[in-house]
Structure 1
Amino acid sequence: MDFALAVLDMAGTTVADDGLVVRAFTAALDDLRVGDAERPRMQQYVLDTMGRSKIEVFRALFAAESDAQRANAAFAAAYDELVGSVVPIPGAEDAIRALQEGGTRVALTTGFGAGTRDALLDALGWADLADLTLCPAEAGRGRPHPDLVLTAVLRLEIDDVRTVAVAGDTTSDVLTGLRAGATVSAGVLTGAHDAAALTAAGATHVLDSIADLPGLLGHR
């Protein structure tokens, strides 16, 4: 099959996370003065829901919308302070270029807000690398809903969802791909979730790294 589109996650998949997301979440909990008794539950929820829209995660953790918005803003501010230290996953940029050279368009997606997404792209020098970048606010809903993938399909005028491949490091990435009808919904082992979790979520393939995706899709 000729794949027309690859939809790739950012943090943990194409971009090394190195604990930055967890550190930013911790800063958000500090900002709201969350007590020690509540932190373990909240931190576990953050780990379990890696890849999802950050504001939706905070809405699940805090009953008041004002608290969720405050936590989301604190998270974004903390991550933006750390973003200068981010680096690509080894081979990620080469993989993206190989896909494009082989005729597969590339969309980068994230659960971050647009400002954090753009800061991350600027720090990496990737502002013009992908054919499209999307965050949840630009698609309707974040992962594990299919919206990010389907929005990429619509914006890039892809004719058939069966020519789409999705790759990410979380179960939410896998579910997003499956729910969008992608033929390939691959998990990668460079981020939040392990092979057992990705397989249990229904991953069509489990890859050591995003660097393996071009080969999977028939590109050299």
Structure 2
Amino acid sequence: MKRFTLVCVDMAGTTVRDDGIVEQAASAALEECGLQAGGEAHDKAMAYVRATTGTSKIEVFRSICSHEDAAQLANLAFERAIATWAADGRIAALPYADETLKSLRAKGIRVALTTGFSPRTQQAIIRALGWEDAVDLAIAPGSGLRGRPFPDMILHAVLTLGIADVRQVAVVGDSVGDLYSGLRAGATLVAGVTTGSHDTNALREAGATHVLSHIGELPTLVGG
């Protein structure tokens, strides 16, 4: 069995329970920039939000909004909502997530959390879950790193953690964007999980090497 030394794992929908919170925050953010819920423009924008799950949220809002100021306003409202809900305990780990992170690191495998959220929001979620010491690295778009479907976050993890070979990297996520970023980075194992945005067919069509019913199946898959 191939020896994996790094797993890059997504957050919302993969290790973090969503329960519709991301969509609720996006809907509220769109209202902040003038797209009222129930309107045709709002519904169209929400369809785009769903289709681009996993992508950097500021890039999503830039595609929807008519100008940069509106995109920044929407992104700020989105991030504020997520951070507030994290502090209020509305965000929780998915089943098997805590055990999986512990198991991977016990096997000597480094763990990097990736996300489409901003660094600030990612850290708020990590604090809410008590994961400050559960992973080796947390990476979010920004500071020169493009979000998914680009490979930047995965390659940044490889460089930062001193991984010798990208073929020793596994990437796991619930969206096709997660998988595209893993494939573009050259990861050997690019697994989809069906606990989030996309179903088995969509994940397989995107090029998943494996499809998991939940994150708890990962440690056996990557070995040790």
Normalised to the residue count of structure 1, the TM-score between the two structures is 0.97
> C-alpha separation between the residues in 1 aligned to 2:117 and 2:61?
12
Deviation per CA, 1:94-150: give whole Å up to 9, x if none. 111111111110000111001111110111011121000000114510000000100
* 1:1-220 aligned within 5 A: 1-35=2-36, 36-83=39-86, 84-138=89-143, 140-219=145-224
CA contact (8 A) 1:139 1:148 kept: no
Misfit runs of 4+, over 2 Å: none
SS at the partner of 1:38? helix
> C-alpha separation between the residues in 1 aligned to 2:171 and 2:144?
16
> How many corresponding residue pairs?
219
Deviation per CA, 1:33-71: give whole Å up to 9, x if none. 214120111111100100010000001111301111110
CA contact (8 A) 1:5 1:105 kept: yes
> C-alpha separation between the residues in 2 aligned to 1:89 and 1:168?
13
Larger deviation: 27-36 or 120-129? Answer: 27-36
Stretches of structure 2 lacking an aligned partner (at least 5 in a row): none
Normalised to the residue count of structure 2, the TM-score between the two structures is 0.95
Tell me how large the CA RMSD over aligned residues is: 1.0
Change (3 A) 1:57 1:183: same
Larger deviation: 130-139 or 106-115? Answer: 130-139
Stretches of structure 1 lacking an aligned partner (at least 5 in a row): none
